[in-house]
Amino acid sequence: MSNARTRIVKRAVQEIQDGMNVNLGIGIPTLIANEIPADFNVLLQSENGLLGIGPYPEAGKEDPDLINAGKETVTAIEGASFFDSAESFAMIRGGHIDLAILGGMEVSERGDLANWMIPGKMVKGMGGAMDLVNGAKRVVVIMEHVNKKGESKVKKECTLPLTGKQVVHRLITDLAVFDFTPDGMVLVETQEGVTVEEVRQQTEASFQVIHELLTK
């Protein structure tokens, strides 16, 4: 992983609590599976029909029949269960997923999320993201703060097609952590070595800063 992704993943794993049912979206979120503490009783769910995902398999021990929603080979922990998509989405829509950690292309200052397509590029569909942002009890989005052009992905308004409106509870980037409240977007943490001013320079969205950071 790049240094940016390492920071994001290590901070994101702190969102997972013992006893949770957690869905990890495709992309960066799948890397979190290897970082969950071994003594945690956590069930990872994949919307293609697996509850009880384990770490990535060792080289040479991959099972092509065991894949996650991103078509990556995975392992299954003892006691894992397999089911069809209807059962999987009944779990999601029924509010049985405690936490969904999803990747993002853009997040707006109101907590809107765009993470499923870039116009002009071939995509197969939205997948389970639309259901997860509305069915999971808590939605955390993780992504790099700027795109390859150096443009902020934390926007006033998303320019890409939306996955959901006002659905993000927390955003974690390689620079900072934001929460979304009825009073607006709030900067609650900065990554190690990052100042509030650096976050402001790299962020298009407007946000408030909690008092603890203002006094640093």
How far apart are alpha carbons 40 and 51 in whole angstroms? 15
Look-up: residue for tokens 């993470």?
A: 115
The radius of gyration computed from the CA coordinates of the chain, to the nearest angstrom, equals 17
Instruction: Please identify which of the residues 15, 47, 109, 189 carries the catalytic annotation.
Output: 47
Number of residues written out for the chain: 216
**Residue 44 vs residues 8, 26, 188: alpha-carbon distances, Å:** 19, 13, 27
Q: Which of 9, 6, 2 is nearest to 142 (CA)?
A: 9
Separation between Cα atoms, residue 129 and residue 104, nearest integer Å:
10
Instruction: Let me know: does 189 contact 176? Beta carbons within 8 Å.
Output: yes
Candidates 30, 22, 115; CA nearest to 75 is 30
Q: Is 47 a catalytic residue?
A: yes
Structure tokens at 126: 């939205």
Where in the sequence numbering do the catalytic residues fall? 47
